[in-house]
Each structure stands twice: as C-alpha cells, then as structure tokens.
Amino acid sequence: MVNASAFKAAYGFSRDEVRLGNWRAAPWNVWAFRNVSELIPTARIAATPGLAEEPAVDPEGILRQELFLNGRKVTVAEILGETSTDAMVVMKSGRIVADFHAPGFTLQSRHILFSTSKSVTSIIAGILQDDGLLDFNELVPRYVPELKSSAYGDARVCDVLDMRVGLDFEEVYHDPRGPYARYRRAGLLDPSEPGEEPGTVVEFIAGLKKGKSDHGGPYHYASPNSDVLGLVIQGASGRRFPDLASERLFQPLGARQDAYVTVDRAGTPRTGGGINMTPRDLARIGEMMRQGGMANGRRIVSQDWVHDTITGGSSRAWAESASATWLPQGRYHNKWYQTGASSGAFFALGIHGQWLYVDPRAEMVIAKFSSQPDAVVDDAKDHNLALFDALAKIV
C-alpha cells in the first residue's frame, strides 16, 4: 500500500499521476524508471540464490573531485546532477569503489536499461554461438520462421547484431503516429490508440519491409533488430529468453537481485529495451566483459567472442552512418559501441541516459542510470563520455 503523503513528499507528485501515457516524461520518469513492473507486464530473470549484497560504498571522495569539462571547472557531483543521474556505480580492478544513489534509490532498486538491454542480450547470443547452437552467418528465418516474408527474410543474424539491416524504419521518438509509436504500442509501452488493436511485437516486426539499402551496408540504428535477436535466441535455444538469461548469465555472474524484462501480450520479451536491473549487477556484467568473459572463476562467454565484440566490426559501416559525427573514431559490433580511443574503452548506451562503460586500460567499469527528460541529448552524451574519461584518470 502506497503512503500517498510520503510518496508526494519524496517525488513531488502523487502515484496516481504516473500512467502509461506519461511514464517516460519528466517528472514522472524519475519514479517510473525504477518501477516499470507496476506499469508494464514483465518476466523475471532470477538472480543467484542466497547471495546478499555488500554494504554501499561512500561516494563522497569521488563526488568532490573537480574536473575540467568543456572548458569549465565542475565537480563530479555537479555533472551527475546536470545529467539527471539516478545511480552510478564505479568499479576499479574488480572492486566497487563508489555507489552514488539519488534520493529514494537503494541497493535493491532496479532501473530500466532501455537500449543497454541490447548489449546484455548480445551476450546471450555469444553464449549460444559458443555452444554451437547459433550461427551468426545464418539467415534470420532459420531461427524465426515467422519473419520469412519480412525485411528480415534475407538478413543474416550478424546484420541484426551490427545494426546493418536494410530496414524501412526510422527511430523517431516523438512522432505519436509513426512506425516507432506503433512499435512501442505493440510492446505495451504506450497506451493503445482509440479503436486500435496494436497486435504483438512479432506481428509488428513481421510487417516491416526492406529499405533502400542492402543488408550489410551502413550502420542504421533500429530497435526492432534487437527484439529480433531475442526471437533468434529463443528459436536457436528452444528456451524462454528470461530463463536462459538467468541460467547462463545472471546466476553465474553472481547477480544479487532478480532482474526482469518487459513482455508483450503474447509474452514476447522486449530484448531491445525492456531489461530492468540494479546498477551493481549491471556493473558486474561490465566487469565480466573486462575480464574477457570470466566471472567468479567461471567462464560465461568465450574470450574470442568478447575480443571480437570490443575490437571487431566495420569502421566503414560506422563512418557512412549519421552517428559518425558524434563518435568519429567509433564502431558498433555485436550491439556494443567502441570509442576508438587508445584506452580501448567500449560501452552500452540507452535513451534517457543509461550507460555501461568499460575502460580496459584503467581497469574501470561504470554503470550509470539516469532519468533525463529527453530521450536523446547529445550534450549529455558528450558530458558523460568526458566524465568517464576523467574518472579513469582519478579513480
């Protein structure tokens, strides 16, 4: 039972103001991003049984640090405020050295990853490749026959992984009548339009057509690709994605808190953006990637897959995309971004400011959750990357 007065005192609005139609907008998103399961159906991703979380690590030493970013002197705390940060975990050489929590956020709080989910999902694909169950060079319909007549009918799994599907789809977040809005409604992320039968995620994807570009061309960001990857994973393994993710990633990793993933009316998981988890458990995934696929003395995914993911991919595909202006030396491979910096830093990124950043040279991992008012803020992305680079020098 929600204590209405305490809730309003904490958030500045009442619980009954938060609805499916406004949950991504400020100020309601601050609460909604931590409580997605109260708004959208979800499936559990079970953590490791019996593992308790260690006490929080005081972040004050890091928060007081002064940095020069874009020609101005600021503290880490000021940057976290400017980027609407809900939580940030910093790991150094495998050890948690700081936990920042905004008011109301705890060690047990779970937060939506948005498109950082894509990078988590890709690890499961890598595990299935290691098992010999998934061939990245195979066509998508081998694993998802329902998509044979769609744009994915002649697309390879590797095209899906690298966002190089020639797809007639534009990711326009603020168009209420475009294909992206219909895609969101199919995933139960937005309320249905009057008289509309939005269908399911699979039905929506099965209706997508090819664009002007061939598969395997320039990088073209489209979230449905990552829901297709989830369908491919389920088809290749014969398992539900949340069960497989629990058994092969979260439990061997030593995840302390159950995660969950949003599902549509048919139970299809939104692997393109619907995973919710704690920042510490997300940081543990980053540390596993830094360690070449190892965690707790166990191999989770092959070193070859990790090495390929963080160093491979097509520079040309990225250079020919609109994203090259933001990250000129970057690449995108297996749903992870590479900075192109000498540090070898790579990261996962989600709208509204969700990050998992790994700097191998500094032996540093940062998981950062935010509730930025707008889905995409280029200045905030630049500020975050500058913050992470600065932290690598002082942590």
DSSP 111: E
CATH number for the domain that contains residue 284:
3.40.710.10
- Domain match, 322 and 254 both: yes
Statement to judge: residues 268 and 385 lie in one domain: yes
Q: Which two tokens stand for residue 67?
A: 């940095």
Instruction: For residues 362 and 255, state if they share a domain.
Output: yes
Q: Could you tell me which residues are beta bridge partners of residue 262?
A: 42
Number of domains in the chain: 3
- Which of 194, 229, 264 is the C-terminal boundary of a domain? 229
Query: Same structural domain for residues 373 and 383?
Result: yes
Rounded distance, CA 126 to CA 310, Å?
A: 13
User: Which residue shows structure tokens 């630049």?
Assistant: 382
Q: What is the pLDDT along the chain (395 residues), one digit of tens a residue?
A: 668 999 999 999 999 999 999 999 999 999 999 999 999 999 999 999 999 999 999 999 999 999 888 788 999 999 999 999 999 999 999 999 999 999 999 999 999 999 999 999 999 999 999 999 999 999 999 999 999 999 999 999 999 999 999 999 998 877 777 899 999 999 999 999 888 887 899 999 999 999 988 999 999 999 999 999 999 999 999 999 999 999 999 999 999 999 999 999 999 999 999 999 999 999 999 999 999 999 999 999 999 999 999 999 999 999 999 889 999 999 999 999 999 999 999 999 999 999 999 999 999 999 999 999 998 877 889 899 999 999 999 99
Burial readout 153-175 (b: 16 or more C-beta within 10 A, e: otherwise): eebbbbbbbbbbbbbebebeeee
Query: By the 8 A CB rule, do 338 and 311 touch?
Result: yes
Residues 265 and 138 in one domain: no
Q: Are residues 185 and 135 in the same domain?
A: yes
**End of a domain among 229, 253, 268?**
229
Q: What is the CATH number of the domain that holds 208?
A: 1.20.58.710
Domain-located, residue 122: no
CA atoms within 13 A of residue 270's CA, in its CB half-sphere: 30
| Measured distance CA(359)–CA(357) in Å, rounded | 7
Asked if 69 and 213 sit in the same domain, the reply is: no
Q: What is the 3-state secondary structure (H, E, C) of 249-285?
A: HHHHHCCCCCEEEEECCCCCECCCCCEEECHHHHHHH
Name residue 269's beta-bridge partners.
Answer: 263
Looking at the structure, do residues 35 and 109 belong to the same domain, yes or no?
Answer: yes
Are the CB atoms for 45 and 246 separated by under 8 Å? yes
Asked if 112 and 132 sit in the same domain, the reply is no
Which residues form the domain of 214?
A: 128-229
Residues 146 and 250 in one domain: no
Q: What is the per-residue pLDDT for 68?
A: 86
Residue 123 inside a domain? The answer is no
Residue 271 maps to a domain: yes
49/94 Cα distance (integer angstroms) = 21
Q: Assess if residue 293 is contained within a domain.
A: yes
What stretches of 153-282 adopt beta strand conformation (E)? 259-262, 275-277
Residue 66 is assigned to a structural domain of this protein: yes
Residues 264 and 389 in one domain: yes
Active site residues per annotation: 115
Q: Which of 163, 195, 229 is the last residue of a domain?
A: 229
Does residue 15 sit in the same domain as residue 111?
no
Cα–Cα distance between 106 and 220 in angstroms, integer? 37
